Amino acid sequence: MKKVTRRRPSAAMMVAVVALVVALGGTAVAAKKLGLGSLAPSAKKKTVGVGKLTYVTAQQTYNTSPNPDDGYTLTAACPTGTHVLGGGIKLLSPNYDNSSFFVYDQYLSTTGFTARFFAGSNSQADTVAVNASCGVSQAVTGSPASP
């Protein structure tokens, strides 16, 4: 049998291990100091808590072409006590080639997410969905821009 000899770690390895222990200890201390309880009240008011998001969808089918100057408007409204964070619009019609759908404008509104668009024709009905993500926040400043 061959005898196994163990060598002592080099000086560089010992310095590296000490540096790792110090770095991990500093990270643990910083994480403890930056817990949610240590945030300033103004920062807490501007955050959206985990599990407090609500997703809302408004869906409608359009059978005829709208007035070319106006188009259609559809809003996904947020529940009371929440504020809109974002949203989008989607065409749900099965045959996209025959669709006359196009988005004219989409924006955040004071009540939710609003989209203005053209959809529907004499040959095909278009189903359109507008989605909004809404969240709870204690302090909201400003208001959405006008369309």
Question: Of 98, 140, 141, nearest to 119 (Cα)?
Answer: 98
Amino acid 110: pLDDT = 82
- The sign of the dihedral angle between the CA atoms of 73, 78, 83, 86 is negative
Strand, helix or coil for residue 5: coil
Percent of the chain with pLDDT over 90: 22
Host H or E run for residue 25:
helix 11-33
- Taking the model in full, what pTM does it have? 0.60
Please give the residue that has the higher pLDDT: either 41 or 98: 98
Overall average pLDDT of the 60-72 stretch: 76
Overall average pLDDT of the 87-103 stretch: 80
